[in-house]
Amino acid sequence: MSILTLFLKQDITHWSLSGVDGFNEETFATPVVLKARWEDRASKVLNPEGTEIISNSRIYLAKDVKVGDYLFNGVTTTADPKSVLGACLVLNFRKVPDLFANDFERRAFL
What CA–CA distance (Å, rounded) separates 39 from 7? 13
Tell me how many degrees the CA angle 13-42-83 measures, rounded to the nearest 5: 35
Contact 45, 57 (CB under 8 A): no
| Local confidence band at 7 (pLDDT 50, 70, 90 cut-offs) | confident
Q: What is the pLDDT of residues 29-75, one digit of tens each?
A: 999 999 999 999 999 998 888 899 999 999 999 999 999 999 999 99
Q: Which DSSP string corresponds to 71-108?
A: EEES----S-GGGSTT-EE--EEEEEE-TTSSSEEEEE
| CATH architecture of residue range(s) 10-109 | Beta Barrel (2.40)
Which residue ranges make up each domain of the chain?
10-109
- Please, what sign has the CA dihedral across residues 28, 31, 33, 39? positive
Q: What is the mean pLDDT of residues 3-13?
A: 85
